[in-house]
Structure 1
Amino acid sequence: MQAMAASAQTTSEEDELSLVYGDSDSISLATGNLQTLRRAPAVAVVLTAADIANMGLPGMDEVLETVAGIHIAHSANTLAPLYMVRGVYSSQGPQVLVLQNGVPITTLVQGNKGNLWGNYPVELISRLEIIRGPGSALYGSDAFAGVINIITKGSAELAGTEFGARAGSFSSRDAWVLHGGKLGPVDIAAYVRVGDTDGFHRTVDADAQTRNDTLLGTHASLAPGSVNVDNKAADVNLEAGYGQFRARFNYKQREQGSGAGIASALDPVGKGRSTRIIGNLIWSNPQLTKDWGLTASLNSQEFDQEIPVPYILLPAGTRFPTGPFPNGMIGAPETWERNVRLSVVADYSGLEDHHFRVGAGHEDLHLFRTRELRNFTYAPNGTPIPTAAGLTDFSNTDVFLRPHRRRIDYVFIQDEWRLAKDWNLTAGVRHDKYSDFGGTTNPRIALVWDATYDVTTKLLYGRAFRAPSFNEAYSITNPVALGNPNLKPETNGTLEAVASWQAKADLQLNATLYRYSMASIIRLTPRPAGALGQVYNNTGNQTGRGVELESAWTVDRDLRLVGNYAWQRSIDKATNKDAGYAPHHHLYARADWQFSSGLMLSPQLTWVADRKRPVGDLRAPVADYHTVDLSLSTRRGKNSWNFTAAVRNLFNADVREPSAAPGLQIPHDLPMAPRAISLTAAYKL
């Protein structure tokens, strides 16, 4: 009886800790099969809904900044977030694959998650599974430097109804409803959210038009002036499960300002709107026969990018040798795309010590409509010419990008082989055949060794690729950045060594060493002699190396300490100099302290340091910064109100992200948000 009582008490304590800190010990992203995180054949991390709630952060972008080796940079265009993993930087950030419930949400035009991304609501996230390093052997294109899988909350996790609201600095406000339960035999989960914000009003003191004014003797620039980062958001997520079937529907709309300007010149009025609609239908039977499991899925995404208030690329009063722009240089490029993906995956475990995973799929990616309004054309040398008719629809004559279609067929095979009692070898390869540029084959191999009871080591190698975006391959009217239909994919080979030490039952330590080599990087290069402007080409090569250290220590039932540190250096092989933009040092630390019954205090520290400029950018290095965030929240059960008060950037540090080299457009970099305060209230039935 005594033993049973002790066991019950231990189980109860573990359950309570799980409610506070969540379960982050397993991952499916590394192989497609659920397995322990420690033995997964990848450098991976899992953030649970409890982890995210403890942080008190407003969106997924801010949450990702807490992961070792990941830094969130920004572009001037809408201040779009760029997920920079291990120093891999580009102006659109397409080298990280973002999945939602295992399905890519990549857009065709830019090859990323969309410039009008507008963040992702944390209330909907059940788990974030993140791989640093290549993932193309399983996931194909864009799983180049990393993979992020957003897993949304299902009916079992919600188990009731929750509604909440948040208000904070910059006139920010959100409201949402979550529900999970049953409708007869059908499991149902639903989420609806609306929100808006005026955004922070940091000042840009010089922009692209400042330079134009100096060169051309005009006075048109709106700098010094504020960035334009207002945002309206609407989200709907529905999920239904019946037997072996699961269906999901997701709607995400964002309307947001132009950031620091689409052309790096301040634009206080321009607004873009993105609408993303995702549908998933999955049938899965993990025990189709004794040794076989089978999963089939049909997925669709429609992504529209419209410009309800045309962008002012350059302000009123702009003048070129070709003529004046009394109302400014105005443009409104719009796109509509529809993507359909079909896949079938089989698991076979009939061979002793082996687990095979075989899959095939077809993707039909269709940019089916483009539209462009603008009040200019281009001279042969690339200089804008004002149109006599003002704002004109060029959709049928001289549009920036015409509709295109890309079809992909792929097959992959993976074997998880238990070599010996303490040794596991995972090997796989995937071949993708593209309708526009041909085929690419990407292997990976991972050896995992349980060296001792509490130490696991890994040696990993993988190759990855990124397909050219439609803008890079097919843009036709903008001489500043002309497309090239002869582009080939970027490639990346990465070698990683990992040691995981369970120092104590409640203390986990991880260390990772890595080295990668990128080739055929797609970059803008000068057009042939006699023509101004640039064209995309496969011209870059880059190598990188780094160290990542991670720790998690549950000191006792009331205190948990989490921290990580990453060092990296990336070298542009053309110059043998630092590739620039990415921090050499990145540190994050957080304490979750449950200091009284039902109250949680979570202070956090982020330090970003030593960001070099690329060759040709003569500015001083980007200033280091450290920020302190603070979150205080209640932890009550059902039928109770819970509150979270959060302060970001408590000491109002001047945080800036690097603007594009050589710094002639926005010379003093992109200002980020100052101190911000928010209060969240939620009630669960």
Structure 2
Amino acid sequence: MDVNSQFLSRTLAILSLSLFSTWSHARTDTELTSLSFETLEGMSLSELLELDVITPSRTKQRLIDSPANITVITQLQITQRGYNNLVEVLQDIPGFDFSTYEDGGGEYPTHSANRGVGGGPGNPKLLVLLDGVVQNHIAFNWSQLWGEENIFADLDRIEIIQGPGSAAYGANAFSGVIHFITKKQVSMTSSSLDVIAGQNNTRSITFTHHGQFKNININAALKHYTTQGDQGDRYDPQGYFSGHEWPQMQTQAYVDGNYQTDVNHPSAGELMPGGFNTEKNIWALRGNVSYFSPEEENRLQGISKLSAGAYLWDKEEGLASYVPNYEYQSWLDTFKSHHTGKHLYFDLDYRINQKFLSKTRTWYRENRQKPETAFRYTYQFSELTKSYHSFNSQVGLEEQIEWRHNDESALVLGFRVMQSDKMNQIAFLGNMQQGHDAITSSSWLHATQGENKRLGAVETQAVDVVNEQALYAIYDSTLSARWNYSLGLRYDKSDDFGSTLNPRVAFIYKMPTKLFEQLNLKFLYGQAFREPSIFELTDEFRGNNELKPEEISTYEVIMQGSWLDDKVSWLDGMSFNASVFYSDMSDLITLVPLDGLNGDSGSVYANTEQHKVLGYSFSSDLRFTSQFKSYVNYHFNEGDNGNGYSGINNSASHKFNLGLNYDSDDYNIDIRMNYVGDRTVHPANGYFEHVAPSYTKFNLKVSGKTFSVSGLNMRPSLQIENLFDAQYYGVGRQDGSSDETEYDVLTNPNPAGFIPAYHPQPGRQIYLKLSVSL
């Protein structure tokens, strides 16, 4: 047994004994859960609707009064449900659907649609923020922080908006906004350590610290996550990853340094290994130091907040089920992507007077695609590595003035200026390259195209310096005692795509009723845009520098409220959110074929089709007793490309989620169910007959009580994902065009299409966790 296996076995044994032995120990006075946990647990569902949120209007307001369809995931929910990453969170939210999951789609591993919008590589139609700093890739627009490179232990909450958000946040807030908000002000100094061990030599260690010195708050979090993965040992009904025979010939190869076609394959007659690389090695570090004025509530003038923060992450992982192994050698350790990101920011909040507050932010961001991002083809250049790298950076300044007339009325005026260095990825062929500069020592382009094909030719990639400016205004106020309204308008201008103007309008009616504690009716309208990425604009074969931003208009009606009836003995209370929406999109950026040409080089990005989506959803939180609570939600959507409403490609029309939580003095049990209905597949997907089948899966977390050892408070837990080991999969990440039956070792080593019809998902996964309060 190797050292890693011994570590895993011992850790599992220790945590198992801890988990099941602690239920016999006396309850300690000091619980691992913080005061905020206790406060949240004690709040009624009606009071939870009054939690303050900041994302919809960029200023503090009650959740139920906010002009948006917003869901808040608290740190208590993260802890009880065992959420470790954003994919796990959004699978429980109505409207989010996945065609690939965390390790299914190559460099951009997650493909999700939000209320029928999105689903493309990297989810560029969804904006991700961390404490107000944009996390989408600077050049490629991919939304990021979906996986273990994010840290959940130091979060205060996650605010999730479904619907356009460009009036407040500009580009890429197309289908919605995900905002991670970390803890800033703390009431006491504390440190914690979370250790997770599980199957496939999965290990995770997260350390957090929250400190206070007078009016200075210090928060820090460090995480390391590693797993060997299951190497693709999953349900694979068509056999995309099941060990095919190597082809007899290579379509292209270098022999003794010379380019040749149709040459004998060195592995002809042998079987390829099965499976695909699911290894991960990830670390992340973030922290902030903040000063808060002790007299902010009554202060008439002066600094109210100073804050500086940083976040760094490094993510190296297998490219997994991105392609079948008769296309790429998907089982190799070198079949992987390597990306890093960082940002630094400085905030200054200055109170001009009792009604005016100035908020200034400066930041620096980076995205690096490391040259370890690489793979080897099966049917060509099988002994050479194709790899990519890129480097992108951004600096920005944002100034916001907030005028608060009273508790009900606020005006936000702001402007933003940014400069970004955007570099498209540059491809290499040979042995592994080094560095991240806009140059490669052995160009893929020169090795495969032109009359003088050769290895070792230098290629330089242009760096696009893009300047962007924005102006915005948001005004929230009241029309009467029962009517609130919100108006927003934002102007964005970019060197890449010109200018765009995006408004929003919301009216909120506080309905008079004797049946409900609170009942609001929201009427929302908003517009948004998604800017073209550097790849779409400048790719050598498919780029189109005339692309316009994609646009969306969404109309939505929401009923939101809470209910309490002392006459119903089995139900303490209920909160609910019901929504009907209609989205109209234009100038969508898609690949279209060029006349007379085939293949990737015969396609070009263009603004083409118009698309409409109609849907509705219902969600409810229920509290049966002080110990037993539940949530349930349902979502439906269909789309229209001009041929009538029907299912949306790679997305389910029906999705249903259910969660149950029981919390006692001795343990907490949380079980969650996800039902995803039949999913319409892309017409190019030949494996399914128009639809991929539905699936249902369950997740379980059981937490023991907190116990004390040598002054340390510890709480063990057991987490099982896919409890009943359902065989399920995501569907083809773009089109599912690869057909395994077309592969022939003699006559067709490179069949048309390279995206598999489905992406196998892991079976049952068991993890043990020990949380230690230091």
Q: Same fold (TM over 0.5)?
A: yes
Which residue matches 1:514? 581
Does residue 1:652 correspond to 2:715, yes or no? no
Write the distance in 2 (CA, Å) between the matches of 1:355 and 1:466.
28
Query: 1:117–1:254: 8 Å Cα contact kept in structure 2?
Result: no
Q: Which amino acid aligns with 1:474?
A: T
Candidates 327, 333, 336, aligned match of 2:383: 327
Write the distance in 2 (CA, Å) between the matches of 1:458 and 1:137.
18
After TM superposition, list the pairs within 5 Å mapping 1:19-58 onto structure 2.
25-58=51-84
Which residue matches 1:17? 41
Query: 1:623–1:656: 8 Å Cα contact kept in structure 2?
Result: no
Candidates 680, 686, 692, aligned match of 1:622: 692
Deviation at 1:529, TM superposition (A): 3.3
Write the distance in 2 (CA, Å) between the matches of 1:214 and 1:20.
68
Candidates 644, 648, 663, aligned match of 2:737: 663
Which residue matches 1:362? 417
Which residue matches 1:679? 768
Which residue matches 2:650? 581
Write the distance in 2 (CA, Å) between the matches of 1:352 and 1:153.
24
Candidates 306, 319, 332, aligned match of 1:245: 306
TM-score using structure 1 length? 0.88
Deviation at 1:510, TM superposition (A): 1.3
Write the distance in 1 (CA, Å) between the matches of 2:757 and 2:728.
12
Query: 1:492–1:519: 8 Å Cα contact kept in structure 2?
Result: yes
Structure 1 pair 133–214 and aligned structure 2 pair: CA distance change class (3 A): farther
Deviation at 1:520, TM superposition (A): 0.6
Deviation at 1:207, TM superposition (A): 6.9
Which residue matches 1:8? none
Which residue matches 2:328? 265
Secondary structure of the corresponding residue to residue 61 of structure 1: helix
Percent of pairs with identical residues: 21
Q: Which amino acid aligns with 1:677?
A: I
Secondary structure of the corresponding residue to residue 362 of structure 1: strand
Deviation at 1:417, TM superposition (A): 2.1
- Deviation string, structure 1 residues 556-610 (Cα, Å, up to 9, x no partner): 211111121111112223787543111111111111101x314100011111112
- Deviation string, structure 1 residues 362-400 (Cα, Å, up to 9, x no partner): 0111126864312597899x986899754x46432xx5x
Query: 2:583–2:612: 8 Å Cα contact kept in structure 1?
Result: yes
- Deviation string, structure 1 residues 179-237 (Cα, Å, up to 9, x no partner): 11124542101111112011233355227998996997986997772121211111111
Does residue 1:640 correspond to 2:695, yes or no? no
Structure 1 pair 460–253 and aligned structure 2 pair: CA distance change class (3 A): same
After TM superposition, list the pairs within 5 Å mapping 1:246-395 onto structure 2.
246-261=307-322, 265-267=328-330, 268-270=332-334, 271-285=336-350, 287-308=351-372, 310-312=374-376, 314-315=377-378, 318-319=379-380, 325-327=381-383, 330-350=385-405, 354-367=409-422, 371-375=426-430, 390=455, 392=456, 394-395=458-459
Query: Higher strand fraction: Structure 1 or Structure 2?
Result: 1
Aligned residues: 654
Query: 1:106–1:113: 8 Å Cα contact kept in structure 2?
Result: yes
Deviation at 1:475, TM superposition (A): 1.4
Which segment drifts farther, 453-462 or 575-584?
575-584
Write the distance in 2 (CA, Å) between the matches of 1:26 and 1:220.
65
Structure 1 pair 70–212 and aligned structure 2 pair: CA distance change class (3 A): farther
Structure 1 pair 483–13 and aligned structure 2 pair: CA distance change class (3 A): closer
Query: 1:64–1:72: 8 Å Cα contact kept in structure 2?
Result: no
Write the distance in 1 (CA, Å) between the matches of 2:90 and 2:177.
12
Deviation at 1:120, TM superposition (A): 2.1
Query: 1:496–1:512: 8 Å Cα contact kept in structure 2?
Result: yes
Structure 1 pair 31–584 and aligned structure 2 pair: CA distance change class (3 A): same
Q: Which amino acid aligns with 1:597?
A: D
Write the distance in 1 (CA, Å) between the matches of 2:138 and 2:536.
10
Write the distance in 2 (CA, Å) between the matches of 1:100 and 1:387.
48
Write the distance in 2 (CA, Å) between the matches of 1:252 and 1:220.
43
Q: Which amino acid aligns with 2:74?
A: T
Structure 1 pair 370–71 and aligned structure 2 pair: CA distance change class (3 A): closer
Write the distance in 1 (CA, Å) between the matches of 2:222 and 2:407.
47
Which residue matches 1:484? 544
Query: 2:84–2:148: 8 Å Cα contact kept in structure 1?
Result: no
Query: 2:527–2:552: 8 Å Cα contact kept in structure 1?
Result: yes
TM-score using structure 2 length? 0.78
Query: 1:163–1:683: 8 Å Cα contact kept in structure 2?
Result: yes
Q: Which amino acid aligns with 2:719?
A: A
Candidates 427, 431, 441, aligned match of 2:487: 427
Secondary structure of the corresponding residue to residue 174 of structure 2: coil
Query: 2:428–2:444: 8 Å Cα contact kept in structure 1?
Result: no
Candidates 665, 680, 683, aligned match of 1:597: 665
Structure 1 pair 528–36 and aligned structure 2 pair: CA distance change class (3 A): same
Which residue matches 1:85? 114
Secondary structure of the corresponding residue to residue 703 of structure 2: strand
Candidates 120, 123, 137, aligned match of 2:167: 137
Compare CA radii of gyration and give the structure with the larger one: 2
Which segment drifts farther, 502-511 or 370-379?
370-379
Write the distance in 2 (CA, Å) between the matches of 1:116 and 1:353.
35
- Deviation string, structure 1 residues 106-137 (Cα, Å, up to 9, x no partner): 11332113599655232232211000000000
Secondary structure of the corresponding residue to residue 63 of structure 1: helix
- Deviation string, structure 1 residues 218-274 (Cα, Å, up to 9, x no partner): 869977721212111111111101242011111111111122247963422333221
Query: 2:139–2:424: 8 Å Cα contact kept in structure 1?
Result: no
Write the distance in 2 (CA, Å) between the matches of 1:269 and 1:201.
10
Query: 1:79–1:229: 8 Å Cα contact kept in structure 2?
Result: no
Structure 1 pair 208–543 and aligned structure 2 pair: CA distance change class (3 A): farther
Write the distance in 2 (CA, Å) between the matches of 1:116 and 1:448.
32
After superposition, the CA RMSD in angstroms is 3.2
Secondary structure of the corresponding residue to residue 420 of structure 1: coil
Structure 1 pair 578–601 and aligned structure 2 pair: CA distance change class (3 A): closer
Query: 1:423–1:450: 8 Å Cα contact kept in structure 2?
Result: yes
